[in-house]
Amino acid sequence: MAYLDNIAVFVRVVELGNLSAAGRDMRISPAVASNRIKELEKHLGVRLFNRTTRQLMPTEHGTVFYSGAKQVLDAITEAEAAVSALSGQPRGTIRVTAPLGLGRRLIASGIPDFHDKYPDIEVRLRLSDHNVDILKEGIDVAFRLGVIEDSSLRMRGIMECERVLVASPKYLEARGEPSDASEMMGKKHDCLMLRYPGSREFFWMLQMPEGPVKFEVHGPFDSDDGDVLTEWALAGRGIINKPRFEVEPFIREQRLKVILTKTPPTPVQFAAVYPHKKLQDPKVRLLLDFMADRCQKLIKDILAGK
């Protein structure tokens, strides 16, 4: 069993790029992770990593061993899933990711309830507005707003979410309320943008009379945290494009106002994304069912003011 543990640590170090991240993911200290790598290298008689100050890069031997080790761990995971399906007692660990705002509002609060219902399943939640590489980082389920373009992934739609353009009364009083989309996208107004490496949020898609149209956005502020954009909007710093459920409480309190109601942003699909093979895992199916039902109810309650 110790040998398999060493292999599991090695695989996570390769996938996450350093000992600290792998240790956090596996709930062990960097020192323990390092010792397990050393034990594995001693057993194999080769060096598996080239070490730099910031990252561990697999050697040629490490790259070859990773391919086989990953297959071994995947086979064990699939075998455990098959046994769980037969026994009716799903167990194990699920790695889940979601955007910050969506994760805080909808996903995080459901994790303890899910564990109460299925105490043999551990859930490790990672919230990030960055575009997490699901396959590379070993994610089982990613909750996302938007479509997927990766053919190696599957998607389960949860619900279509209305998006709105909003700004604070303070901002609109100072800058004027835009009468149409072209006016909003000009230099007269500041759009608050979500940006990060690989981000495509450089334009907003609005529903025009002739159909969906892309508009380039401009503004002095951007962030890789969607909640920061909301805080800036509340402070009167610009216009944001948000799923309505994220800003509905502020709209109801009149701290934010919906603008351009005749040409709103196109709706966004709220969905769960996962690798093809993960649907065969009973614990993943249970999480998908649980969270889909819960999130649908939470969003409806938020929009109803409950």
Query: Residues 276-286: pLDDT tens digits?
Result: 766 667 888 89
CATH number assigned to the domain comprising residue 106 = 3.40.190.10
Residues 32 and 70 in one domain: yes
Which one, of 268, 287, 306, 294, lies nearest residue 125 by Cα? 287
More confident residue, 111 or 54: 111
Q: How many domains does the chain have?
A: 3
Residue 76 predicted with pLDDT over 60:
yes
Check residue 202 and give its pLDDT: 74
Same domain, 155 and 280: yes
Among 27, 51, 86, where does a domain finish?
A: 86
Same domain, 183 and 198: yes
Domain that holds residue 133: 89-160+269-306
Select from 86, 111, 131 the last residue of a domain: 86
Does residue 198 register a pLDDT over 60?
A: no
Residues paired with residue 221 on neighbouring β-strands, in sequence order: none
- Same domain as 210, residue 188: yes
Residue 285 shares a structural domain with residue 140: yes
122 or 136: whose pLDDT is higher? 122
Identify the residue with better confidence: 234 or 85. 234
Nearest CA to 234 out of 251, 209, 222 is that of 251
Q: Which helix (H) or strand (E) holds 218?
A: none
pLDDT of 305 reads: 85
